[in-house]
Each structure stands twice: as C-alpha cells, then as structure tokens.
Amino acid sequence: MQISCLRIVNLRSIESAELLPCCGLNVIIGPNGSGKTTILEAIHILHCGKSFRTGNFSDLVRQNTTQLAVHGDVSGDVVGGLVQRFRVSKSRVRTVIKINGEEIRRASVLAKLFPIQVFDSASFGLIDGSPKLRRSLIDKAVFHVEPDHVSHLQRYLRALQNRNQLLKSRATLKSFTFWDDELFNAATNIHKSRNACVDALNDLVSQEALLLPFGHIGLDYKSGWAENLSFDNVLAKDFSRDLSIGATQSGPHKAEVRIKAFGRDIARTASRGQIKMIVLIIVTIIAEFIFLRIGRKPVLLLDDIAAELDPECSHKVLERLAKSHAQAFVTATSEQSLDLKKLSTAVGKFHVKRGSVYDASFLHQAE
C-alpha cells in the first residue's frame, strides 16, 4: 500500500496540513519541536487509530480544540490501483474509523489493510528493553501473514488468565484440564507461526549486504518453555511450582527474541550507533518479509534517523530504504545530516516549521 495524499487536522501543533508523498522515500525536515514527528504519528493513527507515542487524547489534540482527524488516500501496489479513502477522527470519548465513508468497528481491519513498521527512540528497547517488546516485533510481522495469529494469541491469553486464577485459588487438579488443553492448543499454533517467521527473517538477514560488516547477525528465538519437551508435558511437570507461585511460569508469554552477532547479544558487543543501524535494517527487512508474503507494500516510519549515525551510515540506510519494497517516511533535523544530494533515487521532501508543512516538491538526485 502507499499513501498518495495525507491530510492532518488539529493534531498536536498542526492545525491543518496536506502532504502528497512520493511512492518511495519521503524525508521530513525540521528543528526539534517543529511537528515533524507529528506527521509520522498521523500516519500511525491512520494505520490503527492510535499514536505510537501516547494513548492520552489530551496530548494529541491541538490546544483549545476538541477533535482531531487524519485523512489518507491509500492506493494498492500496482499502477492505477484502487484508491481507498481512510479517515480516523478522535474526540475525548470516541474514535471513529471510516474506509470509503463506511464506518468500521475494529481497528484491526484497518491495520490489516495498511501494514506499518515504526522505528523511534523506543525501538532501542528491541535490544535492551522488555521481552514483551521484542515478542511484539515478531507478532506484528506474523499478524500480516497469518490471518489466525491474533485469535490464537487472544485464546492463549484468555486461557492463561483463567488458569492463573485457578492457581491463585488453589483449585483441584481436575479443574485445570480444560484450560490446560486450551493453553496447549493455542501455544502450539503461536510457537509454529513465530518460529516460521523468525526462520524466514533470518534467511533475509543472512542475505543483507549492509549487515555483513557486523558479523553473523541473526534473530535468536526461544519459545518460552523447555524446548526438549512438549508444552503439555511442561504444564504437567511445572504444576507444583506454578501452584506455589500462583502463576503460570512457562509458555509463549515468556518467549524471548534476541538480535545476536556470532551468537552473542549485540547489546554487549556493538556501539549504540551500530545497534541503531542494525535495528533499522532489520525493521526494513521485516517490511520486505511482509511484502514478499502478502504482496502488500508496507509503510515505514523512521524518526530522527541521523541521530547517532555518522553521515556514511545515514547515507547507506537511506539508499537501502529507497530501494526497499516499502514507502518510507524519515524525519531529520537538517538536510545536511542526511546528505540527500548523494542519493541515487527520487525523494519526496517536506519542511516543517512551527506546525506548518511545506512541500519542497520531489528531488531527483540521479542527474
């Protein structure tokens, strides 16, 4: 998918703005606090009805207004493809999502049609943050290629909650039979999908030229239980421990994903700049994985891309983004930090100043 027109109304400092992005790389330039990240935020709201920065409506809506809206013309991945009109409006009490004028009740419908990958300051958590954040990286990728993955996750979490309640109440062993079966069946499907996704991503990672200087990079996935045992056997084996703690200690909710080089966690072997470049490339690879599996072009939102990268690395990342199977939106504080003149492809460029957005037209640097 690609955004051909984006309109923003009353989002943070932006009263009204319209952008006509190009189908490939789009660069949004502006000083800190100017509103450039707000444009990325608007696209994410268009994707799922929510910001990637905050869930607090009062932080999102422009001062002295009561409602915000984001409109987008989103087309398919072929020339002349059908254009769909997405609209998300938010007030303090409700979010209304419409596609071609028809209201939809579930934001997941919107997200499925319009895949997005985000890189911002919180993305360093993929290296040193909670395991939940790293699991979500894989689950979001699987969401777009395995239609039943969300239902398996929901089934698992419901069963987990009920089993934990039984553990806390110290119920009889017989009471656990139904929920243990539910856990086992859902966990089996979740593990199968996650494992297949990680294997496919590692195949793509191994072919990525920009990662070769960092050594043998790969995603290391652990299921969340002893992998030499079937999960139903683990539940039976760990029952006494779970009962004493009052919570289920093994399962997909304990799964872990790490990015490693030569088998060692890159958090211990790479600089912060190297880590940023590795994660940026892996986010790009996940977008390409989605495209290769479903034929739908994802959108990449990459905030403050040049921070902690030297000019050469920034240039390499931008070239890689420009050639990816994705429409990319990149923010930076200055053109000089990205050295756009060296790029070999067309770029959409926008300047943001005090909440106003100026279209600098399309640049073509191949001349």
Q: How many CB atoms lie within 10 A of CB 342?
A: 12
Give the pairing type, strands 346-353 and 327-332.
unpaired
pLDDT band at 297 (very low <50, low <70, confident <90, very high): confident
| Domain contains 148 | yes
Angstrom distances, CA of residue 227 to CA of 180, 207, 287, 308 = 18, 28, 29, 38
Residue 266 scores a pLDDT above 90: no
* 68 and 90 inside one domain: yes
Specify the DSSP element, H or E, that contains 59.
helix 57-60
Report residue 343: phi and psi, to 5°: -70, 145
pLDDT of residue 366: 35
| Domain contains 132 | yes
CATH number at residue 73: 3.40.50.300
CATH number at residue 247: 1.20.1050.90
Q: Taking the alpha carbons of 333, 337, 341, 342 in that order, is the dihedral positive or negative? A: negative
Q: What value does the CA radius of gyration of the chain take, rounded to a whole number of Å? A: 22
pLDDT of residue 79: 44
Give the closest residue to 77 by CA, choosing from 115, 119, 28, 118. Answer: 115
What is the number of structural domains in the chain? 2
| Domain contains 31 | yes
Residue 247 scores a pLDDT above 50: yes
**Cα–Cα distance between 355 and 42 in angstroms, integer?**
13
- Select from 240, 270, 295 the last residue of a domain: 295
250 contacts 234 by C-beta, under 8 angstroms: yes
* 107 and 144 inside one domain: no
Look at 316 and 67; give whichever has higher pLDDT: 67
| Domain contains 353 | yes
Look at 126 and 241; give whichever has higher pLDDT: 241
* 165 and 257 inside one domain: yes
Both tokens assigned to 185: 């069946």
| Domain contains 47 | yes
Query: What percent of the chain stands above pLDDT 90?
Result: 60
pLDDT of residue 362: 47
| Lookup result for tokens 């998918």 | 1
* 284 and 141 inside one domain: yes
What are the E-state strand segments in the chain? Answer: 2-11, 14-19, 25-29, 67-75, 83-91, 95-99, 102-104, 116-119, 217-222, 256-261, 264-265, 299-302, 327-332, 346-353, 356-364
Give the pairing type, strands 25-29 and 217-222.
unpaired
Mind giving me the DSSP string for 209-268? GGGGGG-SEEEEEE-SS-TTS-HHHHHHHTHHHHHHHTS--SSGGG-EEEEEETTEETTT
Q: 89 - beta bridge partners? A: 69, 96
Strand ranges of the sheet holding 256-261, from the earlier edge strand across to the other edge: 217-222, 256-261, 264-265
pLDDT band at 49 (very low <50, low <70, confident <90, very high): very high
pLDDT band at 163 (very low <50, low <70, confident <90, very high): very high
pLDDT band at 77 (very low <50, low <70, confident <90, very high): low
* 136 and 205 inside one domain: yes
Q: State the chain's mean pLDDT as an integer.
A: 89
Mind giving me the DSSP string for 94-136? -EEEEETTEEES-HHHHHHHS-EEEESGGGGHHHHS-HHHHHH
| Domain contains 121 | no
- Select from 279, 295, 311 the last residue of a domain: 295
* 247 and 304 inside one domain: no
* 69 and 171 inside one domain: no
Q: What's the domain range around 270?
A: 126-295
- Select from 253, 275, 295 the last residue of a domain: 295
pLDDT band at 223 (very low <50, low <70, confident <90, very high): very high
* 249 and 140 inside one domain: yes
Residue 78 scores a pLDDT above 60: no
> Average pLDDT in the 247-260 region?
95
Residue 5 scores a pLDDT above 70: yes
pLDDT of residue 355: 86
* 166 and 108 inside one domain: no
* 225 and 253 inside one domain: yes
Specify the DSSP element, H or E, that contains 143.
helix 131-145
pLDDT band at 126 (very low <50, low <70, confident <90, very high): confident
* 362 and 336 inside one domain: yes
| Domain contains 120 | no
Residue 206 scores a pLDDT above 50: yes
| Domain contains 263 | yes
* 166 and 260 inside one domain: yes
pLDDT of residue 189: 97
